[in-house]
Amino acid sequence: MHRPDPTTDPCSLARGLAEVGDWWSLMIIREAMYGTRRFSDFQQNLGIARNILSDRLNKLVERDILRKVDAGEHGTRFEYRLTDKGRDLFVVLTALRQWADKWVFENEPPLLLVDRASARPVQPLQVLDADGQALKLHQVAIATN
Amino acid sequence: MHRPDPTTDPCSLARGLAEVGDWWSLMIIREAMYGTRRFSDFQQNLGIARNILSDRLNKLVERDILRKVDAGEHGTRFEYRLTDKGRDLFVVLTALRQWADKWVFENEPPLLLVDRASARPVQPLQVLDADGQALKLHQVAIATN
DNA sequence: CAATAAGGTTGCAAATCACAACTTAATTCC
DNA sequence: GGAATTAAGTTGTGATTTGCAACCTTATTG
């Protein structure tokens, strides 16, 4: 990927993509959100090659999205857990999930994201203005900070 | 990318990723949201190789995220425009943008997404339950539909 | 004390990507 | 009205990244 150096790109979208915008990274993050923590479990649940998994886990740890924790006292078993930064990707993954629910499955998704307490589906995400009004693409602009 | 065949994966996240989860595809979609429509303009604004751009544009058209429109009557000039499906990715890109604003730029993003009418920044996206209460990752579950 | 499991690393073949050059058709320039 | 330029690609070639399988090392288990 010889794209414009993301570490100097002023667009946060590009910077975000550079950190997590990769098939396996996102699948690992999804899996972590489902509760997976161990190398072997990621490997089996995702069917990913071990070297690729190793590489992605290291990168995600580098970027402070996962934390590598010693599990079992002897330094031979580890857990990879989401950091706050990683956990915050929940909104992003939810947005993509909802998009695909709507457009790929045409509103008949086989799996549904629900509120654990009430078992009712979560609301569709919306971009809101400062007064809480939903905004469409053509109603927004990019301003310099 | 030898990942589990996304066309049969019941997880909409995986299906969504298979459609747009690629650096260049997302940058093209971002660019399209900024108003870019022509092959040459995408090429120059993104600094992407022409064959890769050609490939990604074709795939995005295939997937009904962009529409290829004849501009100028003679079939030699074209425009690539977002479809409704493509435009709906606005929420996804906004979620990622906000995440990077917060975590990569540490709340000092150089560029800001604002409401065009009031020039005030848009609200941070939140996953809400059916009653409008914000939900955290650990409060949700996946249910079969 | 041999076998298995966890968590990797290494080597190699296959797929993907980037860059540059070429193509074709229309338009503008002189 | 011929020459140069622009739009929108396609093709070829080499570099990079990926995937798969095999190997390694340090516990634990039987």
- Which has the higher per-residue pLDDT, A14 or A1? A14
Q: Which of B11, B21, B125 sits opposite A91 (nearest CB)?
A: B125
Distances (CA, A) of A12 to A107, A108, A129, B83: 30, 33, 19, 24
| pLDDT tens by residue, A74-100 | 667 899 999 999 999 999 999 999 999
Q: pLDDT tens digits for B84-96?
A: 999 999 999 999 9
All structural domains of chain A with their residue ranges: 12-87
- CA at A56, C1' at D20: how many angstroms apart? 17
Position A1 pLDDT exceeds 70: no
Torsion of the alpha carbons at A39, A45, A51 and A53, rounded to the nearest 10: -70
What's the mean pLDDT in A58-70? 94
Nucleotide C24 C1' to residue B1 CA (A): 34
Rounded to whole angstroms, how far apart are CA atoms A39 and A36? 9
Residue A79, beta-bridge partner list? A69
Task: State residue B76's pLDDT score.
Answer: 74
Question: Residues with Cβ < 8 Å from B42, sequence gap 6 or more?
Answer: B28, B31, B36, B48, B53, B57, B80
Contact B129 A120 (CB under 8 A): yes
Interface of B with A in 9-38 (CB under 8 A): 10-17, 19, 21-24, 26-27, 30, 33-34
| Residue B127, min C-alpha distance to chain A (Å) | 6
CATH topology of domain B12-87: Arc Repressor Mutant, subunit A (1.10.10)
Taking only residues 90 to 119 of chain A, the set having a beta carbon closer than 8 angstroms to any beta carbon of chain B reads 90-105, 108-119
Query: Is the C-beta of residue B31 closer than 7 Å to nucleic acid chain D?
Result: no
Residue B26 has its nearest CB partner, among A17, A103, A141, at A17
Provide mean pLDDT across the span B15-28: 91
CA distance A125 to A93: 11
